[in-house]
Chains A and B, each alone.
Chain A
Amino acid sequence: MTGSTADFKDLKDLAGLTDPRDAAVTGAGPMRRRGVELALLVLAVGLSVCGYVSVGLARHGVVPPGAAGYGAGLGVLALVAHLAVRLRAPYADPLLLPSAVLLNGLGLVLIYRLDQETPLDQAAPAQLVWSTVGVGLFILVVLALRDHRTLQRYAYLSGLAALALLTVPIFFPPVNGARLWVRIGGLSLQPGEFAKILLAVFFAAYLAANRSALAYAGRRVLWMRLPTGRVLGPVVAIWLVSVAVLVVERDLGTSLLFFGLFVILLFVATGRKGWLAVGLLLGSAGAYAAARLEPHVHARVTDWLHPLASIEAGEGPNQLAQSLFAFAAGGMLGTGLGKGESILIGFAAKSDFILATAGEELGLVGLSAVFVLYGVLVARGYRTGLALRDAFGRLLAVGLASILALQVFVIAGGVMGLIPLTGMAMPFLAQGGSSVVTNWIMVALLIRLSDSGRRRPEEGAV
């Protein structure tokens, strides 16, 4: 009836027939473009070293003694990652790795820069170690995962593992009002970060397997056909549980992220706009309820609506106000690295609010460049999704790219007063081991997926 042409198109999709536009992507030929990647990597490492030197010159008037070591370290990481890609994913998208290296390098520069304000709390060395671990896992994934479809087999295992990871922090004491961390020895980990990838794998695999049933079976309610409970049940259940766990842990940013991921993948898998409507409705209702009932969330919404209220109340600027001050101080061109005062933000200046340092010291120009870098990563992720033939691969690529896009939007929008602030790590930039490691694994998966997608069709996967 309504939308019957769309249904017909989707049937073609299901039958393995592809949109002619996809052919244009895959038919571009087996360009490896590893030289381009290497050149861009040199540029990315060079830019990071420039930033590091610039901080040293601005703060102490001399090239920092660690500059050579820093440059060499980042360079070796980039080179080894590049060699792994060259060896096992030669057709991978050449923009993915350089974008990630540049973002990670810039993050290290910003953390090193903020370390200058806190002599007793040096975060950059640990972040460099975590980056090394992240690149190590990146290489491991690129080398060990020969075909992304292998992951499809572990769909339910991934789902359960994600749930377990999300549940673990409940048994540990809360940090700053949120139960997100697991402390083992001197290490503190954020299992929710790793759960992102596992949930994306689970959603992608499950939806790929059941998308026709989700799209066409089931009863009609009002204007739309709902899938049968048997098909939808497991997805909704796992999603509900994950969101419930997060609400208990009071990590609303991640809840929002998972919800958005779920809705996008459901829409992409089934092609039914009704899911978007339902998703938006449920999301708005959930957000409204949380804002009304949860004092923690209510305070965030109030801060968002009146970021300067604490100043008028004589309590001085709160973190959000300090963050806005930092961005405003940056103006068009920024103060220059090392010359801003974003440390005034205080707590979480190196993690959740790291973007404010970028905004103040690099200005609108630099901040836009950072957003564009994220945009490149996301766009290449979507491109990978379009180039792939198998539904699982497409959904996984879209899922990973969407996680990145949503996470950047939620945290960047939060610290800049566009949406209520929710604590979350800026991918690659922010201080935090779990986050940087997870992001490197995500990029590794995208590299693997894009290698499959860009390969000559007759070669198939390795």
Chain B
Amino acid sequence: MTRQIRWAAAFCLLLTALLLLNAARIQIVQSATYDDNPANRRQDIARYSQPRGDIYVGGRPVTGSEDTGEQLRYERTYKNGPLYAPVTGYASQVYGSTLLENTEDRILSGTSPLLSPLPFLGDLTREPQPGGRVHTTIEPAMQRAAYDGLGGKQGAVAAIEPSTGKILALVSTPSYDPGLLSGNGITAARHWSRLNAAASKPMLNRAIRQTYPPGSAFKVVTAAAALDAGVITDVDAPTNSPDPYRLPGTSTALGNEVKGCANASLRYAFTWSCNTVFAHLGVDVGLGAMAGTAQRFGFNTRGLRIPSPVATSNFDTSMDKAQLALSSIGQYDTTATPLQMAMVASAVAAGGDLKAPYLVDRATDASGDTVSLPQPRSLRQAFNPATAAVLRELMVEVVEKGTGRNAAIPGAVVGGKTGTAQHGFGNTGLPYAWFISWAQPADSAAPAVAVAVVVEDASAVRDDISGGGSAAPIARAVMEAGLVRAGAGGRWR
């Protein structure tokens, strides 16, 4: 009997060993698989178990967290939600997150290893790190000026500090309140379907995710290409261009909205936005040089992130001469995001030095200690400094006596370029009114702010003045706010 008892005991030992091995299998070997199963709510519960870190604009939080007492405890709230939605994006318990809420999620949710002084200790105690703070480069007064300027219209504004690439304003209208999507209830679901179904696409970030034909605003690029390539050596010399201009290889004749464009100088053509001169000029410069210059400005460059991904602006690289002519005045397949056009103005303002635009000034932990401090970064020298000087002179003239007089600011040097882009099948859509510009305080050596404004419904005024009419005043308001900031030493607080 003793032997059998030992056998039975050994059997029980085997059962215990099986249980221990199985426990190790579930808890160690397969643990990660079960943890990552989407039906396992633990990650969601943990994520929302503490207040999310806040996004700061001008030293003040524009977000918050609300304790709901539900299983997913904290919900995101927003102050001035529609104003900052193109910056913050939303952070929803159901629909994920976008923009800074998405790209900076690891800081905001507290999961970033940057926040943990001793990462290994965190793994051991499983104490959640409080969410960190993200300070944006946005200047509240400029953001407000841009948002109010656009009013109820569809459009977007992007403003950049030319010397650093800091994004000072990023506005898209119509906007929405991201706080409506934070929760997981039926109201969030209703708002979600309503916002997605809306024809005005309020959740589309037009400043960085939508491309528009830039129209005449693109002439800055064409002028830069012509000056860099040496096709134009004297801005006051006649350009030998006919008016109207018959597009090469076609019977289509291109005309102008203004007079005096036949054989006009580059200065006159730029100031009054002669289509014929720039279309002709683009063909003279040639496809290779035009595309090269456009690319150095940032066109055709995939993967730009601010840190949210920016839609790629386009300048075709294989076209016939008629298409090249149209592309050189910002039509045909040439498209650009408002941010891209702000980069164009910024590059001119900074003497050709194109800075990488960025939105996150710094990230700190919950107690305010900086954990990440992005540095300004040059993308490339877009064109010769000598070319930059000429372009600045031309842009100043546009504001002083040309199409952009609405953007003039007393006591400051302002350079700009208007644009009106036709679009839609047979150009039946409402035109887009553009204005790109930069402003330099009178007592300063360099421009303090570069702006691009696009207004989608420019009241059907189909001439180049509309860019100066509806977009330039918005740009002026944004620049004025930017000059106040520059006057205060370039710092809030």
Question: Contacts of A374 on B, CB cut-off 8 Å?
Answer: 16
Are B2 and A416 in contact, with the CB atoms below 8 A?
Answer: no
Are A364 and B8 in contact, with the CB atoms below 8 A?
Answer: no
List the interface of chain B (C-beta within 8 A of A): 1-9, 11-13, 15-16, 18-20, 22-24, 26-28, 30-35, 37-42, 45, 124-126
In the complex, whether A327 has a CB less than 8 A from a CB of chain B is yes
Question: Which chain A residue shows the least CB distance to B27?
Answer: A364
Are A329 and B126 in contact, with the CB atoms below 8 A?
Answer: no
B460 to chain A, nearest CB (A): 50
Q: Closest 8 A-B residue pairs measured CB to CB?
A: A328-B34, A405-B12, A382-B9, A19-B2, A311-B39, A268-B4, A364-B27, A409-B15
Question: Contacts of A409 on B, CB cut-off 8 Å?
Answer: 15-16, 18-19
Question: Contacts of B33 on A, CB cut-off 8 Å?
Answer: 328
Question: Which chain B residue shows the least CB distance to A316?
Answer: B39
Known: A268-B1, A328-B31, A402-B8. A364 touches B16 (CB 8 A): no
Question: Contacts of B30 on A, CB cut-off 8 Å?
Answer: 328
Are B28 and A364 in contact, with the CB atoms below 8 A?
Answer: yes
Query: Which among B8, B34, B41 has the greatest number of chain A C-beta atoms within 10 A?
Result: B8
* Complexed CA–CA distance, A249 and B18 (Å): 29
Question: Contacts of B125 on A, CB cut-off 8 Å?
Answer: 336
**Can you list 7 contacts pairing A with B, beta carbon distance less than 8 Å?**
A19-B3, A268-B1, A269-B1, A269-B4, A331-B27, A359-B23, A382-B5
* Complexed CA–CA distance, A367 and B42 (Å): 20
In the complex, whether A9 has a CB less than 8 A from a CB of chain B is yes
A324 to chain B, nearest CB (A): 6
B138 to chain A, nearest CB (A): 38
Q: Given contact pairs A327-B27, A378-B16, enumerate 9 new A-B contacts (beta carbons under 8 Å).
A: A269-B1, A308-B37, A325-B40, A327-B23, A331-B28, A359-B26, A364-B24, A382-B5, A413-B19
B194 to chain A, nearest CB (A): 26
8 A Cβ contacts from A251-298 to B: 264, 267-269, 271
Are B12 and A267 in contact, with the CB atoms below 8 A?
Answer: no
Are B40 and A416 in contact, with the CB atoms below 8 A?
Answer: no
Per DSSP, are chain B's interface residues mostly helix, strand or loop, or mixed? helix
Known: A368-B20, A382-B5, A413-B18. A341 touches B39 (CB 8 A): no
* Complexed CA–CA distance, A408 and B18 (Å): 12
Query: Which among B7, B19, B42, B45 has the greatest number of chain A C-beta atoms within 10 A?
Result: B19
* Complexed CA–CA distance, A310 and B275 (Å): 65
In the complex, whether A46 has a CB less than 8 A from a CB of chain B is no
Are A405 and B23 in contact, with the CB atoms below 8 A?
Answer: no
Question: Which chain A residue shows the least CB distance to B2?
Answer: A19
> Which of A268, A332, A336, A363 is B5 in contact with, Cβ under 8 Å?
A268
> Which of A13, A327, A339 is B26 in contact with, Cβ under 8 Å?
A327
Query: Which among B7, B26, B124 has the greatest number of chain A C-beta atoms within 10 A?
Result: B26
Question: Contacts of A329 on B, CB cut-off 8 Å?
Answer: 31, 34-35, 40, 42
In the complex, whether A385 has a CB less than 8 A from a CB of chain B is yes
Question: Contacts of A406 on B, CB cut-off 8 Å?
Answer: 15
Question: Contacts of A321 on B, CB cut-off 8 Å?
Answer: 39
B174 to chain A, nearest CB (A): 36
Question: Contacts of B41 on A, CB cut-off 8 Å?
Answer: 341, 344
Question: Contacts of B11 on A, CB cut-off 8 Å?
Answer: 264
* Complexed CA–CA distance, A406 and B12 (Å): 8
* Complexed CA–CA distance, A255 and B264 (Å): 102
Question: Contacts of B9 on A, CB cut-off 8 Å?
Answer: 378-379, 382
Q: How many residues of A contact B (CB 8 A)?
A: 59
Contact with B along A158-170 (1 / 0, CB 8 A): 0000000000000
A308 to chain B, nearest CB (A): 7
Question: Which chain B residue shows the least CB distance to A14?
Answer: B1
In the complex, whether A412 has a CB less than 8 A from a CB of chain B is yes
In the complex, whether A394 has a CB less than 8 A from a CB of chain B is yes
Question: Which chain A residue shows the least CB distance to B9?
Answer: A382
In the complex, whether A98 has a CB less than 8 A from a CB of chain B is no
In the complex, whether A398 has a CB less than 8 A from a CB of chain B is yes
Contact with B along A326-340 (1 / 0, CB 8 A): 011111110110010
> Which of A21, A271, A402, A412 is B19 in contact with, Cβ under 8 Å?
A412
Question: Contacts of B32 on A, CB cut-off 8 Å?
Answer: 328
Question: Which chain B residue shows the least CB distance to A367?
Answer: B23
* Complexed CA–CA distance, A391 and B2 (Å): 10
Question: Which chain A residue shows the least CB distance to B45?
Answer: A341
Are B124 and A417 in contact, with the CB atoms below 8 A?
Answer: no
Are A22 and B2 in contact, with the CB atoms below 8 A?
Answer: yes
Are B18 and A371 in contact, with the CB atoms below 8 A?
Answer: no
8 A Cβ contacts from A309-367 to B: 311, 316-317, 321, 324-325, 327-333, 335-336, 339, 341, 344, 359, 363-364, 367
> Which of A335, A402, A413 is B22 in contact with, Cβ under 8 Å?
A413
In the complex, whether A401 has a CB less than 8 A from a CB of chain B is yes
Question: Which chain A residue shows the least CB distance to B26?
Answer: A327
Question: Contacts of B35 on A, CB cut-off 8 Å?
Answer: 325, 328-329
Known: A375-B16, A412-B19. A363 touches B2 (CB 8 A): no
Are A405 and B37 in contact, with the CB atoms below 8 A?
Answer: no
* Complexed CA–CA distance, A328 and B42 (Å): 11
Question: Contacts of A378 on B, CB cut-off 8 Å?
Answer: 9, 12, 16
Are B5 and A398 in contact, with the CB atoms below 8 A?
Answer: yes
Are B45 and A328 in contact, with the CB atoms below 8 A?
Answer: no
A326 to chain B, nearest CB (A): 9
> Which of B8, B24, B45, B126 is A398 in contact with, Cβ under 8 Å?
B8
* Complexed CA–CA distance, A394 and B1 (Å): 9
Are B2 and A386 in contact, with the CB atoms below 8 A?
Answer: yes
Are A333 and B124 in contact, with the CB atoms below 8 A?
Answer: yes
Known: A328-B31, A367-B27. A341 touches B42 (CB 8 A): yes
Are A324 and B1 in contact, with the CB atoms below 8 A?
Answer: no
* Complexed CA–CA distance, A408 and B17 (Å): 12
A345 to chain B, nearest CB (A): 12
